[in-house]
């Protein structure tokens, strides 16, 4: 499997509308709203769900649903319109998986709005950091069943961050996005978190890191 960085095709973004004709502070106010809405809602529900429901399963399903909406929206819509970037995957005729990281070049890059660019990158970086802090809180608070939920939030927001950083700056083809996500999800989240949930809580605090 390999990866590539290529210009984002101009005709691939026309279907979303003519960005140059949009008036107002932001060219895409609704897109900007939804860039923040789903990930913000997932974080707020996680922090406040104990006030409204005692059901862990219901909270888990609802928060994962919000994370899924956020992941799809940021990956397929907001990145293309707000910053002119996109990452995606395709399978060739030989069954090989390829990850492609695209960015607008030249004059079409001027379509993006500087305000939207700032909002996009601040939100893209801030939320993985917040979930990382919640991971530490859940780990040292011995809230092991919530730890899996935090790992899902950290993984999905971190995946979009990694993909768009690759779009922006390119990268070594030997370091593939699929390798990062598969190793993190399968080896770290499932093995470490499930292992901790199957053990009884330790008597004293210990430092367990998931990289």
Residues linked to residue 103 through DSSP beta bridges, in sequence order: 7, 85
Q: How many CB atoms within 10 Å of residue 104?
A: 21
pLDDT one-digit tens code per residue, 122-171: 999 999 999 999 999 999 988 888 999 999 999 999 999 999 999 888 74
pLDDT for res 2? 57
pLDDT one-digit tens code per residue, 89-133: 888 888 888 888 888 765 445 577 888 999 999 999 999 999 999
How far is CA 42 from each of CA 77, 90, 100, rounded to the nearest angstrom?
Answer: 19, 29, 28
Q: Is the dihedral of CA 130, 133, 134, 135 positive or negative?
A: positive
pLDDT for res 184? 42
Q: CB of 92 within 8 A of CB of 98?
A: yes
pLDDT above 80 for 82: yes
pLDDT for res 106? 52
Distance CA 56, CA 45 (A): 12
- The upper half-sphere exposure of residue 183, i.e. CA atoms within 13 Å in the direction of its Cβ, equals 8
How far is CA 112 from each of CA 37, 89, 192, rounded to the nearest angstrom?
Answer: 20, 24, 41
- Global model pTM greater than 0.85: no
pLDDT for res 161? 94
């Amino acid at each position: 499997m390999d990866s590539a960085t290529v210009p984002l095709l101009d005709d691939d973004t026309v279907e979303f509308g003519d960005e140059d004709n949009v008036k107002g502070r932001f060219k895409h106010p609704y897109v900007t709203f939804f860039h923040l809405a789903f990930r913000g809602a997932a974080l707020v529900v996680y922090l406040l769900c104990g006030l409204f429901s005692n059901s862990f399963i219901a909270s888990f399903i609802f928060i994962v649903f919000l994370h899924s909406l956020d992941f799809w929206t940021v990956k397929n819509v907001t990145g293309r319109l707000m910053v002119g970037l996109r990452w995606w995957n395709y399978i060739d005729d030989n069954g090989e998986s390829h990850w492609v990281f695209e960015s607008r070049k030249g004059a079409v890059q001027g379509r993006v709005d500087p305000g939207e660019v700032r909002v996009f990158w601040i939100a893209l970086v801030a939320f993985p950091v917040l979930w990382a802090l919640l991971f530490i809180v859940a780990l040292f608070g011995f809230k092991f069943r919530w730890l899996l939920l935090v790992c899902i939030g950290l993984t999905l927001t971190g995946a979009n961050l990694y993909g768009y950083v690759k779009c922006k700056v390119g990268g070594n083809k030997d370091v593939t996005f699929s390798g990062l996500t598969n190793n993190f999800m399968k080896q770290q989240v499932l093995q470490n978190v499930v292992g901790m949930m199957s053990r009884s809580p330790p008597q004293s605090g210990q430092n367990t890191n998931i990289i």
